[in-house]
Amino acid sequence: MPRYSLRQSKDLSCGAAASAVAEAELSQASAPGTPKEMEIFASVSRDFNQLEVSAPAKIARYFKTAGFRASVIESPYRTAILILGSPAVFAPEWAKYSMELWSPTNWVTRWPRGVRERDFDNNARLIMLVAVPNGMHYLLARRDAGQYYVMDPAYDMDVAVPEFSSWAGLHWADGKSWNPLATITTGPPNEGRTNHYLGISIWVNTANSPYVWY
């Protein structure tokens, strides 16, 4: 499948930009642009009138409505570390995000585990929630020919990340890598910023792809 990149057009439209790229890649369509990003942003923003940040649940629902398969993967270890470290900030945010997952008509499955290598099987895409120095942000991750690539919509850059397994904690269960404080740097040399994975990802794949179970 192709890999694209797209620079976000609004301060908090990173989730929509990452989603636009993921949708184009999975559909094997042409590279997306700002009109597609803003179309998605209207659906996934917590309050589009205020151009607020995208909600993980709304991103998953957008893909489900568009005919894809989507679910949320959340590492309870990482979210617990965040909440215990800064409860006043992260506890209300986590509660709000959790409430948004439930809907009587379009509910979103949340798998309580970390990301695994198998989550990238069958050309799946992961839209990953990260912390950056000035707040929260979304990155798009995928595996291509055995290498992990990350697209950062803040910089319109798609780069190989050799340390992805350790950063995302892919092998924590068998002790090969587990460093919840690890970061990766995206952006131009000397101008980029660090990204700390917060443990929440939206898994997306085509309608005929197999689900990744627990």
Convert the pLDDT of each residue in 31-42 to its tens digit: 999 999 999 999
Q: How far is CA 29 from CA 12, 81, 141, 155, in A?
A: 25, 39, 18, 22
What pLDDT sits at residue 97?
83
Residue ranges, the chain, pLDDT below 50:
none
What pLDDT sits at residue 177?
65
What pLDDT sits at residue 16?
97
Cα dihedral sign for 18, 22, 25, 29? Answer: negative
What pLDDT sits at residue 52?
77
Q: Where are the domains of the chain?
A: 65-205
